[in-house]
Structure 1
Amino acid sequence: MLTLQYLPLVTPGIGGMTRRRLTRRNVLTSAGAVGIAGLAGCTGNDDTNDTTNDDKSGNDNGTGGMTTTKNVSGTVKIGVLQPISGSLKYYGQQSLWGFLSGLAYKADADPKTGVKSGKTVVSVGDTDFELYVRDTGFSQSKAKKLATNLVTDQKVDMLFGCASSSSATTVIKTVAKASGVPYVAGPAASASITSDGETCNNLVFRASENTAMDARSGGKYVAKETDVKKVYLFGADYSFGKAVVNNYEQVLEDEGVEIVGKKFVPQEHSEWKGLLDKAQDAGAQGIVGGFTVATLPNLFTEYLSGSYDYRVFGGFATQITNKVVGQTMQKVIGKPLTKEKIEKTKLGPFTTRYHWNQYDNDINTSFVDSYTKAYGVVPDLFTSGTFTAASAIVQGVHQSGSTKGTDIAEAMRGMTVKDTPKGEGGYVFQKYNNQARSSMTVANPVPTTDEWADNWDAAVMPGEPLATIEGEEATIPKDAAGMSCSL
C-alpha cells in the first residue's frame, strides 16, 4: 500500500524535527547562527556513539549499522569518475560537488572548490581522503579505461561515480568485479545496476536514487491521485531510458493504468510532433519521457507549442533542463510566468529524487547554505545521493576502524547513513542489493521565486512537495519480480 505523506506548511519532520518551508532566509539564519557542524547536536565529525535504527520494513534491509565509531589515522584512496567536460558536464559537476560537500560536512569544513581532473585531498579528523578525479566525458569506453588505470596504477581503495548508467554497468562488469575493488555508483540511475544479477555484487553500492524509485513514487502518485488512466511511454534507446519505461510500465499496470503505447528513440531525438500526435491518437491521458537533458528540451518544446490533451509526468530534471523548459514556457504562454499559467500546460506533477527546497531539516539547511556559497548554485537533483555516498564512506571508515576498501564496504552493508540531506538516517543501504532506500517527493513546477533566482538559473523550479513517499514504498522489494540480486 502506498503511503503518501502530505505536507502542509508545518508538519512533524524526521527525528521529531519541525518541518517548515525552506527559504533562503532560514537557510542563512540557521547555518549562520550555530555553524555547520553544530546543528541539532550533529557534530559532523561522527566521533560519538550513534543509536541504532531498527528496520521495520520486513525487507531484510539490515538493522541500521549506526554503531560505535572510531577515529582512524590513515589514507583512503578513492577514484572518482565523472563527466566534468562536454555538453553534460553539469551532471558530473553537481555530482562531484555533492560528494565534496559530504566530505566537508563530516569534516566540519567548507566544500573544496576548483576541483578538476587530478588529485585532491580532504581530511576528516585523522583520515585523509585522496580523491583521484578523472573526467569520463560521458564516454563508456573512457570510463572503463580510466577505472582500470585507477585500480592498476593508482591502487585506489574504492571507486565512485559515473553519471552514465552504461558507463557504470561497464565499470562494474569489467573492472570492479574483476579487481575486487568496492564501487559506489552514482548518480547513474538505471535500476538494473542494483537489481540485475549481472551487475549486483556485494562490493557494489549506490546511495543515489534510481529509475525504479522514480516510478514507484511518481507513478503510484499519478495513478492514485490524478484522473490519468491511459499512458503512453517514451524513452531513450539505451539502459537509462529502457529502465524508466520498464519501471513505469510495471508500476502503472499494477495500479490499473492502461499503457496505450511505448516508443524508444535515439538520444537527442528532435522530431517530436509525429510521436506526440501518435500518443494523442492512442487516447493517452498522460505521457512519460525517460530522457536526459540531451532530449527532454526537444520534447518539451514541441509539447508546449502544440495542443495536446494529455499530461506530461515523470522525473523532475536538473537546472539545465528546467532552464530550457522555462524559456519555452515564457515564449509560448508569455511573461511573467505564473502558477496558474503553468498549471494550464499540464506539465507535472513530477517526482524529484532531491532538490534543495524539498527537505526541511538541519543537515539540509547547512548543505544548501555551504553548497550555494561554494559553487554559486543551489544543490540539484544528483547532489543528495552523492553527498550521502561520501558521508557513508566516512562513516564506514569510522565504524570499521579501517581505511581498507573492503572493510569500509563491509561496514556499509545495511548501514543507516547518519548525515544526509534528507535528514539524519535518511538513507539506508538494503542488505539484499546494497541500494540505499530514501524518501522521494512529488511536486509541480512553479515560477522561480526571487529568493532563489540568483542561484537557480531557470524560470521554473519545484514547488512545495505535494507528497513525500517513504523509502520503503519507493524501493524495489527483495521479493519483487524484477529483483534478481541476491547478496
Structure 2
Amino acid sequence: MQAFSIKPLLIAMTAAGTLGAATISQAEDPIRIGGIYILSGSAATYGEFAQRGIDLAVEEINADGGILGRDIEMLYEDSQGKASVAIQAARKLVFSEDAAALVGLDSSGVAQGMVPTMPSLQKPLIITHAATPDVTGELCNPFTYRISVNVAQNMKAAAMVAAETNATNWTTIGPDYAFGYQSWEFFGDYLKDINPDVNLMSETNFPRFGAEDFTPFIDRVMDSDAEGVLISVWGGDLVNFIRQANNRGFFDQGLELMFTVGAATEVLSALGDEMPEGVHLSTRYWYEGYDNDLNEHFVSAYMDAYDSPPSYNAQGAYSAIYAYKQAMEAAGTTDGSAVAEALSGMSMEAANGTVTFREGDNQAMVSPNWGVSGPMHSEHGIRTLTNLQIFEGESVARSIEETGCKL
C-alpha cells in the first residue's frame, strides 16, 4: 500500500484558502480616493466646501452599492496652497495610502507644480477648482483632467460681458501669481478682439495672495483714469478686499467692476449684504441657474445636509466623484491607466448639464456663469444673481491647437 502524505494536501488547501480569503478581502476593500485641497488659511473655506460636495457624493454612491461593488473611502490632505506640499501629499496618498485616484487643487500655482508629476504616479487626477489653462494646455498629460471652468473659458465670457459696457479704460486687481496674471492676459486679449478701441492700462495691481491690506491698490485704482476693473482676488482675500473697498468708497466711483469668482457662495455667505449690488459677478456654477432633475436633486440634498446653498467648488467636487464612478464602471477596474483612458472623451450628466472631457486636452466643456449682484435672497442670506448669463462651454473654449496640449 502506497504511503500517503497529508502535508502537501494541507499546504495546497492552505494556499487555496489564503488565495480565496485574499480575493474576498480585495473585493471588499474600499476604493480609496485622495482629495488635496487648501484646508487651512484664508482660502480654507474652498477646501471645506469641496469636502462637503465630495462627502455628499460618497454617501449617495455607497448607499447605492458603491463602485464595482465596493464602497468609496475618502482621504484628505491639506495642500496649504503650496505645490511642494501638494506633491508630497499626492505621493503619500498613492504610495502609502493606496489611493486609486485623486481629486482637488484650489490654486493655479499648485496645479502648475503638481500636474507634471502625475504620469509618474500612474493615477488619474480630476481638478475641480484650479483654473490655470496650462494644466490642460502645455502641461497636459494623459492622467490629468479638469471638470471645472478654466481661466481662458471664463475670461472669454468676461470679455463678452465687458464689451457690452461703456468702459474704455480697463485695469485689474488680482493675486500675484498665475491666476491673477493669466486672468488679466486672457481678458485683455479677448476684449481687444471684440473691441480694438479699448485701452488696457499699464497701471495694474497684483497684491500677494494672502495679503491683509488692499487699501493701497484700491486707492491707486480710484486715483487713476480707470473706468473698468477686472478683479480676480478670491477666497478670504476677496472678503477682506470687499470690506476694505466699502470703507474706501470704492463702490461709489461709478466703475464697471467685474469679479471673476465673486459669486462663489463661500464669499457671498461670508459677506452677506456687504457685497454691493450692481457689480458683475462670475461663478463656475450658480445653483439656481440650471433647470434639470440632477441639479434639483443636488441642491436639495446639499441644502438638507448643510443648510446653505452649494458653491461651484462643492458642485465640481461632487461631480468629480460621480465621474470616477462612471469611468471605473466603464473600465471595469480601478487601474489608474484604464480609468484615465475611460475618462478621455467621456460625457456625463451633472447638475450643470452635460459635461464632456474633451479628447485632446482633457478639459471639460462646461459653462461659465456671469450675472449682476442683486437684492439679498430672502431665505439664503446671500446676494442673488440678476441678468444671469450661462455661456455654452464649446462657445468659449479654445481649440486644441490654441491650448498647446499634445497628448
Q: Distance in 1 between matches of 2:39 and 2:379?
A: 28
Q: What is the aligned counterpart of 1:451 among 372, 379, 402?
A: 379
Q: Which residue of 2 aligns with 1:253?
A: 192
Q: Which residue of 2 aligns with 1:242?
A: 181
- Percent identity reads 25
Q: TM-score, normalised by structure 2?
A: 0.84
Contact 1:214–1:474, Cα closer than 8 Å, also in 2: yes
Contact 1:442–1:468, Cα closer than 8 Å, also in 2: yes
Amino acid at match of 1:135: D
| Aligned-pair CA distance for 1:106 | 4.8
Contact 1:74–1:403, Cα closer than 8 Å, also in 2: no
Q: Distance in 2 between matches of 1:280 and 1:79?
A: 44
Q: Which of 1 and 2 has greater Rg?
A: 2
Amino acid at match of 1:228: A
Change (3 A) 1:140 1:194: same
**Which one is further off, 278-287 or 86-95?**
278-287
Q: Distance in 2 between matches of 1:168 and 1:150?
A: 17
Deviations 1:146-191 (A, max 9, x none): 21111222232212112222222222223x1222222112212222
Structure 2: tracts of 5 or more residues without a match: 1-26
Q: Which residue of 2 aligns with 1:295?
A: 237
| Secondary structure of 1:463 counterpart | strand
Q: Is the counterpart of residue 101 in structure 1 residue 44 in structure 2?
A: no
Which is bigger in relative contact order (C-alpha 8 A, separation at least 6)? 1
Q: Which residue of 2 aligns with 1:203?
A: 143
Q: What is the aligned counterpart of 1:422 among 352, 356, 369?
A: 352
Alignment of 1:14-163 (within 5 A): 76-106=31-61, 123-124=66-67, 126-163=69-106
| Aligned-pair CA distance for 1:78 | 1.6
Q: Distance in 1 between matches of 2:307 and 2:379?
A: 14
Q: Which residue of 2 aligns with 1:172?
A: 115
Q: Distance in 2 between matches of 1:355 and 1:104?
A: 23
How many residue pairs end up in the alignment? 374
Contact 2:368–2:390, Cα closer than 8 Å, also in 1: yes
Amino acid at match of 1:138: G
| Aligned-pair CA distance for 1:351 | 2.1
Contact 1:322–1:461, Cα closer than 8 Å, also in 2: yes
| Aligned-pair CA distance for 1:275 | 3.2
Deviations 1:14-66 (A, max 9, x none): xxxxxxxxxxxxxxxxxxxxxxxxxxxxxxxxxxxxxxxxxxxxxxxxxxxxx
| Aligned-pair CA distance for 1:370 | 0.7
Amino acid at match of 1:296: L
Contact 2:367–2:393, Cα closer than 8 Å, also in 1: yes
| Aligned-pair CA distance for 1:243 | 2.2
Q: Is the counterpart of residue 463 in structure 1 residue 405 in structure 2?
A: no
Contact 1:358–1:465, Cα closer than 8 Å, also in 2: no
Contact 1:80–1:160, Cα closer than 8 Å, also in 2: yes
Change (3 A) 1:464 1:267: same
Contact 1:267–1:294, Cα closer than 8 Å, also in 2: no
Structure 1: tracts of 5 or more residues without a match: 1-71, 110-121, 330-340, 454-459
| Aligned-pair CA distance for 1:248 | 1.3
| Aligned-pair CA distance for 1:399 | 1.5
* RMSD value, Cα: 2.5
Q: Distance in 2 between matches of 1:406 and 1:216?
A: 33
